[in-house]
Amino acid sequence: MSAHEENCVFCKIIAGDIPSTKVYEDENCVAFFDISQVTKGHTLLIPKTHEENIFELQEETAAALMKNAPKIARALKEQFGSVGMNLVNNNGEAASQTVFHYHLHFIPRYGDDEIYSNWDQNQGDKLSTDDMQKIAAQLQTRLA
């Protein structure tokens, strides 16, 4: 076990060294209630392998997680009667990641909770259509 894994709270949850309220588990992943409960039913889905963030996440790990995401979201919706769901993943300290083991937040929404501002109202860097097309072509080359 690496030093990262030894100090990782999520690795300790997987190992059973720290208690959690698990809602789902299979050979690849674990889902459990987030201790903070931003909204009722706030759940985390994590891989059993220690992969720090989306930049380190193996494609096979991502596939195993996303295979389970819809059924976890549906179960949360049915259990809590939410009317929406945010799936959130923070990657890196600059993006507010605080536990450096990949995790996906399922945040049930109830219509009037107002926990996030609308991202489309933020005034970030705007790209022209031409710039977007040039950058998209460069990204397509990187992804080929």
Positions marked catalytic: 103
C-alpha distances in Å from residue 98, one per residue of 30, 52, 88, 95: 18, 11, 13, 9
Task: Specify the residue for token string 């190992």.
Answer: 15
Q: What is the DSSP string of 51-117?
A: --STTT--HHHHHHHHHHHHHHHHHHHHHH--SEEEEE---SGGGT--S-S--EEEEEE-SS---S-
Collapsing DSSP to helix, strand or coil, 135 comes out as helix
